């Protein structure tokens, strides 16, 4: 099987020749406006991420033994939730 020449890709000139989306200039950036300003009706329908239905949990850094982590991770996805549930039981707290 003959070796083909190594493809070096497209040159800048090649890309400029076929580009229908030219690079923005400083003037283009100065004229730009936010999406919500141009399409307010559409922007209002886009789902924004907000507080969840459940109370927010607080991110903490916690050092756990490797064997404890291995045990919870071995049971698959949701291992962090299972650790939370186990700690709740140990602290005798009701699930929120």
Question: pTM of the predicted model, to two decimals?
Answer: 0.43
Average pLDDT, the chain: 85
**pLDDT, tens digit (0-9, with 9 covering 90-100), for 19-58:** 788 788 999 999 999 999 999 999 888 877 666 666 677 8
The reported pLDDT for the residue numbered 50 is: 67
Beta-carbon contacts of 69 under 8 Å, excluding residues fewer than 6 positions away, are 79
């Amino acid at each position: 099987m003959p070796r083909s020449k190594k493809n070096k890709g497209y040159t800048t000139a090649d890309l400029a020749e076929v580009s229908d989306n030219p690079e923005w200039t400083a003037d283009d950036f100065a004229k730009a406006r936010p999406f919500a300003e141009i399409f307010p009706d559409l922007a209002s329908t886009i789902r924004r991420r907000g507080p969840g239905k459940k109370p927010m949990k607080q991110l903490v850094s916690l050092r756990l033994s490797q064997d404890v982590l291995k045990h919870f991770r071995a049971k698959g996805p949701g291992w962090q939730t299972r650790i939370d549930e186990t700690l709740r039981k140990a602290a005798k707290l009701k699930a929120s």
